[in-house]
């Protein structure tokens, strides 16, 4: 019985509360109470944090194609923001820490997935293990979000986060000439007459 829990912190607005997809069939059984099961679930959910690492930003060797199969809504807390030009790409690798910031590993059997909210702006190509991905600008300018999610075998989300990406124009490489509207030339002005020659000086007489 999948349900969605919205956790509200009274110190924050409800809109800032995280939404967690919970599969009760995976976390409850007849030998545990509701309180025990929820405590175990949230203890595990809060035990991991995603730590993204931005690789060198580079020019694309070939133009990136949209990846509509990776389209998905933005989710998780904002972990990083960066800028690409419309012809660049970057490799993002991920690691994990526990809730106290110490390095941690994802449990065996968990899966890591990537999504972008605007596939006309950004393309994402995850690695085979899902722990890294190439994020590329498709061409148009604007802003988009790349999301990452770690889920266990039941589909319950253990950790998630997002990256805000701004796409800007690159350095100019072509000159674009735009002709204006053609108009008639003005009439030629009347010629100015040449000035009369100055009279010759008189020769003095003896």
- For residues 147, 21, 42, 25, the Cα torsion angle rounded to the nearest 10 degrees is -140
Range 99-109 average pLDDT: 81
pLDDT tens sequence across 66-85: 999 999 988 888 999 999 99
Mean pLDDT for the chain overall = 79
Under a CB-based contact definition with an 8 Å cutoff, are residues 64 and 116 in contact? no
Q: pLDDT tens-digit profile of 119-159?
A: 999 999 999 989 999 999 999 999 999 999 988 888 888 88
For residue 10, name the pLDDT band (cuts at 50, 70, 90).
very low
Using CA atoms, how far apart are residues 13 and 11, in angstroms rounded to an integer?
Answer: 7
* CB-based contact 162:31 (threshold 8 Å): no
Give the chain's domains with CATH numbers. 1-45 (no CATH), 47-168 (2.60.40.1080)
CA distance 71 to 80: 19
CB-CB contact of 50 with 100 (8 Å): no
Q: Residue 46: what pLDDT?
A: 52
Cβ(119)–Cβ(71) under 8 Å? yes
Global pTM reads 0.64
């Amino acid at each position: 019985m999948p349900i969605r829990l919205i956790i509200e912190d009274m110190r924050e607005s409800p809109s800032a509360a995280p939404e967690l997809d919970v599969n009760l069939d995976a976390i409850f059984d007849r030998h545990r109470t509701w309180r025990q099961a929820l405590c175990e679930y949230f203890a595990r959910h809060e035990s991991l944090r995603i730590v993204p690492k931005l690789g060198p930003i580079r020019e694309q060797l070939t133009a990136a194609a949209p990846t509509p199969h990776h389209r998905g809504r933005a989710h998780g807390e904002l972990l990083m923001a960066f800028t690409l030009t419309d012809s660049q790409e970057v490799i993002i690798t991920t690691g994990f820490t526990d809730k106290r910031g110490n390095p941690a590993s994802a449990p065996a059997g968990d899966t890591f997935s990537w999504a972008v909210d605007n596939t006309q702006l950004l393309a994402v190509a995850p690695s085979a293990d899902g722990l890294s991905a190439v994020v590329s600008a498709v061409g148009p300018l604007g802003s988009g979000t790349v999301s990452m999610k770690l889920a266990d075998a039941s589909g319950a989300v253990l950790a998630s986060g997002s990256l805000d990406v701004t796409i800007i124009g690159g350095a100019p490489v072509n000159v674009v000439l735009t002709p204006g509207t053609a108009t008639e030339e003005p009439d030629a002005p009347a010629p100015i007459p040449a000035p009369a020659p100055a009279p010759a000086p008189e020769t003095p007489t003896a």
